[in-house]
Structure 1
């Protein structure tokens, strides 16, 4: 794949110059062309990585910077893999909490932990080759493999999870109709455009298969529900055959006043990553923790965290410290409390939950 992309790209060798170090040079060229002394920046997901890169490269140009769903500099791949696995397992707890609060959920009356128990049953069937990929298991000759079931659940929990849909799909499969989870689709451009940037940003310390197995072992050590899916474990594999030299990644120590935003149950960029950057590299910054899920908070218009982000982008003034039902705000130098109990925070629309059903 990489070789074909290298052959098709113009000018020749451009793939080696698509990292965030080059991207932020482009950002500053745009700033210069527009005549701005400073810029304001809303960096979401991997955009937060580039926001931190820009702030570290051009500190005198930093205006009001918000980093939402942080991807930090300087956190080892081992820790990122571990955080991913912890988060996706926490996402299944959150799905169960949603089920306990929704009378349309198949396991609503079965009590806390019933969704996780059902998942274990489905996983066991997939592992022994008996999870039928048909609308009825009788005389079915097609079966869902364990890895496909794991990947499907992780996909349903990623981004902005639609818990009613997720719970419906699990229930239909649990009752014997596996067609809903048996489908797959090819990668799209939207899913792969960022790969060259990420691979050029992040050196892989051990590109051997043994190195990958080491990462997989770390993942399994914290995988309570055997979901075994990690974005950074995938990047470890993809980056192991990246054909270009990658500069050493360094932490970004940022003395500017920034605002970091995270969600307790972000399964795509775990909240631990925002905490890591806030506590170790941004001594004058604030942290906003939204007590819900969803990857990226700013696109949820009714959330308290969104209003806080807008105010900071307008004024550059950190929000007052706060600890409420939907959001907790920390000031510089504080220590963050543990991630909220998934059963003790709100679910539903006010918490940012999507409901397509």
Structure 2
């Protein structure tokens, strides 16, 4: 794949110049062309990484910056993968919490922890080649089984973004009863999924590109993987970036002295909340932190959430929010200490908490 991009890209060598360090130069050229002295920036997910890079490169041009679901500078790949696995495990806890709050869930009457146990039972069957694609009635003659990694990747993928817990629970219940068809559908890699890879691989230096180096990073995730999910988007970046053909500059922590707003969600499965906390505590001394008590990747997607209201008000006024502690959001002022992540079972579930119900 990389070689085909090298062959088709013009001018020659352009792929060596498409990282975030170059992207923010483009942003500043646009700023200059439009005649603005300073800019406002809502950086969501990977966009937060670019927002931070712009603020570090052009501090005098920073006005009102919001970093939502922060992708951190200066955090090692093993730590990123570790926090990824912690987050996706929390996602399974939240699916169980949703189940306990909804009588229609297959495991509602089985008690707390039943969803996690059901998933682990399926993983054990997949590992032993007994999760048959032929249904429970013909296991003895079945020749097609769901591989463990496909089961893990499917459930991890369903928990990403704005999770649809009823759908996740229905998939698990169907598999528990012998219908594993969802795990056998293949997907094709599209340009929509790969356009960002050159930027990511130009941003993150892979210290050890060997198989042993990859296994070391994977091990950091497995050590905190309570439910054997073993899937991480940043582990994928470690793998893909290991064959990037260009040298990548170091990725040091940034010191961002501008007034900013950082936003995260306790149960963001796509970008662990610990990453936002890391940046808030170590790189942004004049930033407030907004913690939404729920799931969903990027708070700004839902206009009715309290965190979105706070973000909009900051973008309008440039004034950091005051301390707040309510059911769906907690606001920390600069210099405060963040409390531990909320108990998955003590935060409401539903649309206001950031999950959806397609059923």
Which TM class, normalised by the smaller chain length? over 0.9
1:34-70 deviations in whole A, cap 9, x for unaligned?
A: 0011100000000000000000000000010000000
- Map of 1:301 onto structure 2: 303
Instruction: Classify the secondary structure of the residue corresponding to 1:29.
Output: helix
Are the counterparts in 1 of residues 78 and 218 from structure 2 also a CA contact under 8 Å?
A: no
Identify the match of residue 257 of structure 1 among 256, 259, 282: 259
Indicate if the aligned counterparts of 2:152 and 2:229 stay in contact, CA closer than 8 A.
Answer: yes
**Residue 83, structure 1, aligned to residue 78, structure 2:** no
Q: What is the rounded CA distance, in whole Å, between the counterparts of 2:165 and 2:52 in structure 1? A: 32
Residue 200 of structure 2 corresponds to residue 198 of structure 1: yes
Displacement of 1:186: 1.3
Deviates more, 1:337-346 or 1:213-222: 213-222
Show CA shifts across 1:193-221 (max 9, x none): 11100100110111111111111211111
**Partner residue of 2:231 out of 229, 232, 235:** 229
- Normalising by the residue count of structure 1, what TM-score does the alignment of the two structures yield? 0.98
CA distance in structure 1 between the partners assigned to 2:135 and 2:118 by the alignment: 18
Superposed, 1:31-46 pairs within 5 Å as 31-46=31-46
What is the aligned counterpart of 2:179 among 177, 181, 190?
177
Tell me the residue number matched to 2:16.
Answer: 16
Query: Where does residue 326 of structure 1 map in the other structure?
Result: 328
3-state SS of paired residue (2:261):
strand
**Partner deviation per Cα, 1:209-240 (whole Å, 9 max, x = no partner):** 11111112111111100000111111111111
Give 1:136 deviation, angstroms: 5.1
Map Cα deviations across residues 298-346 of structure 1 (whole Å, 9 max, x no partner).
Answer: 0111100000000011111101100100000000001100000000000
Q: Structure 1 stretches of 5 or more lacking a match?
A: none
Provide the residue aligned with 2:73 in structure 1: 73
Shift of 1:133: 2.0
For the residue of structure 1 that corresponds to 2:215, the secondary structure is helix
Give SS of 2:298's match: coil
| Structure 2 unpaired stretches of 5+ | none
TM-aligned CA deviation for residue 184 of structure 1: 1.9
Look up the match of 1:27.
27
Provide the secondary structure at the position in 2 that maps to 1:291.
Answer: strand
Please tell me whether the aligned partners of residues 302 and 350 of structure 1 are also in contact (alpha carbons under 8 angstroms): yes
Q: Alignment RMSD, CA only?
A: 0.9
* 2:350 alignment counterpart: 348
Q: How many residues align?
A: 357
Residue aligning to 2:268: 266
Q: Assess if the C-alpha contact under 8 Å between 1:292 and 1:351 holds in 2.
A: yes
